[in-house]
Chain A
Amino acid sequence: MFRRHASKYLSAFAQGELSNGQASSVAAHVRSCDRCREELDEIECGISLAKHLPTIPAPSSLYSAMQNLLQSGALTAAGSSRRFARRGAWWVAVPAAAAIIAVLGSILWYKKLRDPISIESISRRPTKLEALALDLQMQQRYGQQQPDFTTDDPEALAEWALEKTGLGVHLADQAVENLQEYKLEGAKFLTTPSGPILAVFLRIDQVPVTLAAARVDALAKGEAPSQGIWRKKIFYRFDSSSGVNLLSWTRDEQTYVFASGLPNLGRAACFVCHTNARRRELIGNAKLGH
C-alpha cells in the first residue's frame, strides 16, 4: 500500500481521522517499519504536549466595549443600513467604481483571454543554469542524486526552499489538484559565489524531471532568459546527446530551467505550477517558434 513510508498519514492516524481501511493499513505498516514507528512516537509526544495549550480568558472590558456599540444601534440590521445610507456620495463612488471595473476588466481580458505565451527554440551556448539542470537531470535519471530534503509535500518544500535559499517555489498541492501522475521527491541547494541555486526533483508519469531555480543576479549579466513584455517567453533547447528537453524562463527576478525526457518539448512539467485549465491549454497549444 505504501511505496516507502506512511509519514504523511501518521498524525491523522494518531488522531482517529483516517477511515477504518486506511487506519488498518497504517497500523499494519507501522508494526513492520521501525522508522514509521519512531516517527509515530514523536508525533504522539507532540500531540500530548499540544493538548496543554490553554485557553486565555478575554479581558472583562471587552464586553462593555461591545455593549457601547450595541447601544449605539450601529450593529443592528436597521442601524447598519442607516449607517451605510449616511455614507452617501454615490455620485462619486459609482463612476469611480465603473472606471476601476473597466480597467480591471481590460487587464483580465488581456491576461485571461489573450495571455500570450511563446516558446522559442534557442541555439546559443547553454547558460550556467541550463548546464547545471542537465547535469542534475542525468544524475537523477541514473539514481545518483540524493536530495538534501526529502518530501512529497509542496508546502513543506516551499518553506524549506525559502529558508535555505530565499527562493520562492510554489508547486501545486497534489491532494487538491488531483495530479496523481505527479510526485515530488525532494530538493537540494547548491551554493555558488553568485548566490544559491535550488534543484527540485520530481516525477511526472514516472519520468524524472529536474527543476533548477536561481535569482536572476546569480547568473552573468544578460545570461538569464528575457521575461518578455507582452508575451511570457519560454525558451526551448534539445540536448541531442542525452535526449533531454530543456525549458527556461524568467519570472519575478527568478530564473528557472526544467530538464526532462518528457515528450512534446517537456511542457507537461509546467503543469506542476500551472493548475489553471486555461493556462494549461495555452502552454499546451503554444507553437514552437525560432
Chain B
Amino acid sequence: MVFELTRKLAPAGVAGAVTEAPNEAALLAACQQGDSEAFRHLFDSHKDRVYSLALYLSRDEAIANDITQQAFATMLLKAREFRAEAKLSTWLYRLVVNLCADEWRRERKWLPLAAARHKEAMSEKAPQEKSLARNEIAQAVMRAIESLKPKLRATVVLKYLEDLSYQEISQVLGCSMGTVASRLNRGHKLLARKLGHLRPSLEGE
C-alpha cells in the first residue's frame, strides 16, 4: 500500500488562502521599509508560537530568546524570498527549526528547561485553566515531550503547538509525509506509555 496522505493545503482561490497571505506579505513589505507598526503587528501575531517552538526545541530560555530574535531578523532581511501564497507562520517555523539545528550542531547539548519557568508559563498562559489536574497533565506532557529525541520532539511540537497538517510539517522539517506519520506514531505511543497513568484524568474531555 502506497502511503498517500491527504493534502490539506487550501487550493488556490479559497477565501482563507487569498485573504490572509497578502495581508502578511504587505505587512512584511511595509516593515522592511522601516514601518515599526507593521512589524509590531507581525511580531505580536507570531511571537508566542515562535518562542514556544524555539524553547521546546532548544530547552534553554537564553537560546530560545536568541533564536526568536534571529528568526524575526531573518524574516525582515530575507523578506523578498517570502512567497505571497505561502503562510508566513510556516516560513517562520522553518527558520526556527533551521536555527535550532545550527545551534544544536554548535553546542551539541541542551539543558532541561527549569521547572520554575514551566510553572510561570502555565499561570501566564492559561489563567482560565485553574484546574490543578489540567495543569498537572500539561506539565507532565511538557516534561515527557522534552525527553523525546530532537527529530521526534520537533514533529510533535509542530503538530500540537502549531496545529500544522502532516503536509505542512513535512515542508517545515524537509522530510516526507510518511516520515512525519511514522514519527508521530512513535511520539504518540511514547507519550501514552510514559503518561498512561494520567488517562483517567483525560476522560470526559
Docked-complex contact A155 and B179, CB < 8 angstroms: yes
B44: nearest chain-A partner, CB-CB: A63
Q: How many residues of chain A get a CB closer than 8 Å to chain B's CBs?
A: 55
Decide: A62 near B176, CB < 8 A? Known: A11-B188, A47-B188: no
A70 at the interface (CB under 8 A from B): yes
- Please pick, from A10, A18, A47, A48, the residue contacting B6 in the complex, using a CB distance under 8 A: A18
Docked-complex contact A76 and B188, CB < 8 angstroms: no
B116-167 interface (Cβ within 8 A of A): 117, 121-122, 124-126, 134, 137-138, 141-142, 144-145, 149, 151, 156-157, 159-161, 165-166
A176 at the interface (CB under 8 A from B): yes
In Å, the complex CA distance between A47 and B3 comes to 21
Docked-complex contact B182 and A77, CB < 8 angstroms: no
Bitwise, B45-80 to A at CB < 8 A (1) or not (0) is 001111110011000000001001100110011011
- Please pick, from B8, B121, B184, the residue contacting A54 in the complex, using a CB distance under 8 A: B121
Q: Which residues of B lie under 8 Å from residue A62 when comparing CB positions?
A: 47, 51, 65, 68-69
Q: Which residues of A lie under 8 Å from residue B126 when comparing CB positions?
A: 54
- In this complex, the member of B121, B142, B191 whose beta carbon has the largest number of chain A beta carbons within 10 angstroms is B191
Docked-complex contact A57 and B48, CB < 8 angstroms: yes
Chain B interface size, as a band, is: 35 or more
A53 at the interface (CB under 8 A from B): yes
Docked-complex contact A63 and B43, CB < 8 angstroms: yes
Docked-complex contact B181 and A9, CB < 8 angstroms: yes
Docked-complex contact A59 and B65, CB < 8 angstroms: yes
A89 at the interface (CB under 8 A from B): no
* Supplied contacts A54-B122, A55-B48, A58-B50, 7 more A-B pairs, CB within 8 Å: A8-B181, A45-B196, A58-B68, A59-B51, A77-B32, A77-B80, A173-B176
* Chain A residues within CB distance 8 Å of chain B: 1-2, 7-12, 15-19, 22, 25, 39, 42-43, 45-59, 62-63, 65-67, 69-71, 73, 75-77, 80, 153, 155-156, 159, 173-176, 180
Question: Could you pull out 17 A-B pairs where Cβ atoms are within 8 angstroms?
Answer: A8-B185, A12-B181, A16-B6, A45-B192, A49-B141, A50-B187, A50-B191, A52-B141, A53-B141, A54-B121, A55-B52, A58-B52, A58-B68, A66-B43, A70-B34, A70-B39, A180-B2
